[in-house]
A and B are shown apart, each in its own frame.
Chain A
């Protein structure tokens, strides 16, 4: 409790049982304790916070620009270029979802329209080879117009009904370019290939590095534009629309017009991202604009915190880097991430220190003991090789049971693990800590015997689990604000 002066004779109001760190409605403490929380932040963050804003920006931009010198071309492509592309898409979706509060589930169609628009204007298909400085604005404006039309037709739809109409639109786009394809404009399932590289005033962008820097510039420009848009009258009206549509309408804000403009802006940015994507990938096919990309963009926006520009970029970094680091092409990296995530989760959630020590020590001891017993019982039970062990091979070989012929034991173990984790939530306190030990060992067993064999599938499983976990820990997103709900 902070030093809010209160009458000592008044009875103390007990905190609600499930409060945690949720803002207390109607209580001043949350506001009053802000300074205390600011002081709690780490030294590094405080030092960063004291640097003036422009210098902060330059530091970040410099770090981003130095990246191509640290990574090889392929890694730069998947980690750097695609992160920025997703950041751009996230910024656009942020306008629709975060600024105006509209659930647009067909957003990826604008991405596709931008890509196909550029591909039609700058490829051998119709022998048009427009320069980028002409093609990109045309594509952006064209996509924005289509966004305008979509916004206009669905201006009277609310909430989930808007979601479904936009979802239809998104699906209809993919079906149109894949099947309907009148007069073979879109190339059907084969798409349009090859597409011209971006050619700005005659200067062709050909290497991954050049595209990377171009995207950095594009993201910065878009961020700057959105930042000033947010502070303009339209931006403030969007915020009013997001917070309370009815009150905004009563205050005279032109709600329908705002929705349409939000759609148009979001679509325009997606069109830009689509054009750049078409140039970077030298060829496009309908499957790249399907629902899986939509889910990724939504995850980025929500994880980063809807409404926050920097948050969206941060979300793109977190999601794309994690997704690519878990790639089946680099399984040893995936293993590190898996174990690191487990360790971090345990360190972060188990307090106090004695309990943590018991869990960590107990798991290690349990593992070695079980491994020794299994080895003594039957030599083939521990004779299997460690797949892609890397530097951890020695430790894993002596800690986890890896049978020579696991058969379907690993699959049953997987199901058992899911059940065990669900059951674990019913326990609490010390019994949960003790029960955690065999569960952790079981997790390592399942990983080494089943999931590392199929790294591509394991990637998506971990990705899904991460999404669930992050939402539990921080439902408002990384840089979103925990809003105080008025009852």
Chain B
């Protein structure tokens, strides 16, 4: 083959991704032509709300993975505990129909308690279930995490019973929202949740990028032994990472309760799965990746539900994600794994 006929390397690399993306966009375009822009806009807004919640969970997964190379399968249940703590605060302060403190204060307290409780739980889990296994083969903490997950799920079942608990946000915060045109509507609660999630993410970026502890976290995730040799207290940094990641999950739990109202003991399983998906899709170990991944997963899910029949939508979501992973094996923003020799 002559020189000028060879396909350049960069084009060849980008080909599968480009093809897949164009196919997806074409599909989307066809659906928009079929059902209209207003519908598309509506489900995009729904997807963004859902994506914000997934992104918060994914952040916890990605931070813990970055620092310990551990997939923390108990993370979804920490999210569930955060939701229940928020519910506990809500019901002890009068419940959604008759709150004894002003609503804004109630929300702040719910978030505070949920984040603090989840953070402490995360630190305890790390101390108990993962720290003794730091020298063990990588697969042992996996089982430990599953054990913690069983324990948390069923403790919630034991203590709270099996029935769904409701935050009843419509009684607490009303039905109001913003209208765009005649058919697109987003409630204030959802807008608040998205803004809150973005605020938390910005706070996280600031923390990791500008503060001392953030620098220590980045150092430990890059090379644990070198960081220890530089005088960083690795145990403390890992505990701090777990605290922050779990606190974010707790916040996600309270947000879920406020937007979607129903919480029960098994909710952590599904949400953990979606959060884990979001983290990997965005490139596990990368914080902006987790945010992007959460958004993508939320959007894909809503598009599938909106445009397809419910029987096929879940399958379609999985198919899209499998194709995505095959096309971009390292996730969206993940770094190419360089094997050290």
Which residues of A are at the interface with B, using a C-beta cutoff of 8 A?
Answer: 22, 97, 103, 153-154, 156-161, 163-165, 167-169, 171-172, 175-176, 179-181, 245-246, 291, 295, 298-299, 302-303, 306, 411, 414-415, 418, 422, 425, 450-451, 454, 457-458, 460-461, 463-468, 471-472, 475-476, 480, 483, 485
Contact = CB atoms under 8 A, between A and B. Distances in A.
30 contacts: A103-B139, A157-B326, A160-B71, A161-B280, A165-B322, A165-B325, A169-B318, A176-B315, A179-B310, A179-B312, A179-B315, A295-B146, A298-B142, A302-B142, A306-B137, A306-B139, A414-B155, A422-B127, A457-B158, A458-B158, A460-B153, A464-B146, A464-B148, A464-B150, A464-B154, A465-B151, A467-B146, A472-B144, A483-B137, A485-B135
Contact of B329 (A97, A156, A415): A156
Contacts of A475: 133, 136-137, 140
A378 to B, nearest CB: 25
B124 A180 contact: no
Contacts of B143: 298-299, 302-303, 467, 471
Nearest to B73: A295
Interface of A is mostly: helix
A166 to B, nearest CB: 10
Contacts of A181: 311
The 6 A-B pairs of least Cβ separation, nearest first, read A464-B150, A467-B147, A475-B136, A464-B151, A468-B147, A172-B318
A232 B233 CA distance: 47
Contacts of A302: 139-140, 142-143
B109 interface: no
B229 to A, nearest CB: 13
A370 B133 CA distance: 38
Contacts of A299: 143, 146
B149 interface: yes
A298 B325 CA distance: 23
A451 B159 CA distance: 10
Contact of B144 (A159, A460, A468, A483): A468
A165 B326 contact: yes
Interface in B306-322: 310-312, 314-315, 318-319, 321-322
Contact of A457 (B146, B154, B284, B341): B154
A192 to B, nearest CB: 18
Contact of A160 (B153, B155, B280, B341): B280
Contacts of B314: 171, 175, 179
B315 to A, nearest CB: 5
A103 B71 CA distance: 12
Contacts of B142: 298, 302
Task: Determine chain B's interface SS by DSSP, over half rule.
Answer: helix
Nearest to A303: B143
Contacts of A168: 277, 318, 321-322, 325
Given A160-B284, A461-B151, A471-B133, 17 more contacts: A168-B318, A175-B315, A179-B311, A179-B314, A180-B311, A180-B312, A180-B315, A291-B269, A465-B151, A467-B146, A467-B147, A468-B144, A468-B147, A471-B136, A471-B140, A475-B136, A480-B137
Contacts of B276: 164
B277 A164 contact: yes
B98 to A, nearest CB: 22
What class of interface size applies to chain B in its complex with A?
Answer: 35 or more
Contacts of A165: 322, 325-326
A475 B129 CA distance: 11
Contacts of A159: 337
A22 B135 contact: yes
A414 B139 contact: no
A163 B325 CA distance: 11
A161 B325 contact: yes
Contacts of A450: 158
Contacts of A468: 128-129, 144, 147-148, 151
Contacts of B310: 179
Contacts of A103: 139
B135 A465 contact: no
B318 A171 contact: yes
Contacts of A295: 146
A18 B312 CA distance: 54
A476 B137 contact: yes
Interface string B207-233: 000000000000000000000000000
B132 interface: yes
Given A422-B128, A460-B154, A172 B139 contact: no
A161 B330 contact: yes
A411 B159 CA distance: 6
Interface string B58-79: 0000000100000100000000
A458 B277 CA distance: 30
Interface string B88-131: 00000000000000000000000000000000000010011100
B137 A154 contact: no
A212 B158 CA distance: 36
B127 A425 contact: yes
Contacts of A464: 146-152, 154
B19 to A, nearest CB: 16
A485 B135 CA distance: 9
B157 interface: yes
Contacts of B5: none
B331 interface: yes
A159 B331 CA distance: 13
B312 A157 contact: no
A461 B273 CA distance: 21
Given A457-B154, A468-B128, A471-B133, A157 B149 contact: no
B128 A425 contact: yes
Nearest to A467: B147
A52 B157 CA distance: 51
Contacts of B158: 411, 414, 450-451, 454, 457-458, 461
B339 interface: yes
Given A179-B310, A422-B128, A464-B147, A172 B319 contact: yes
A295 B142 CA distance: 10
Contact of A467 (B139, B144, B154): B144
Contacts of A485: 135
A163 B159 CA distance: 33
Contacts of B330: 161
Nearest to B152: A464
A432 B128 CA distance: 16
B339 A246 contact: yes
A92 to B, nearest CB: 17
Contact of A157 (B140, B321, B325): B325
Contacts of B133: 471-472, 475
B296 to A, nearest CB: 14
A297 B194 CA distance: 39
Contacts of A167: 273
Contacts of B341: 246
A97 B154 contact: no
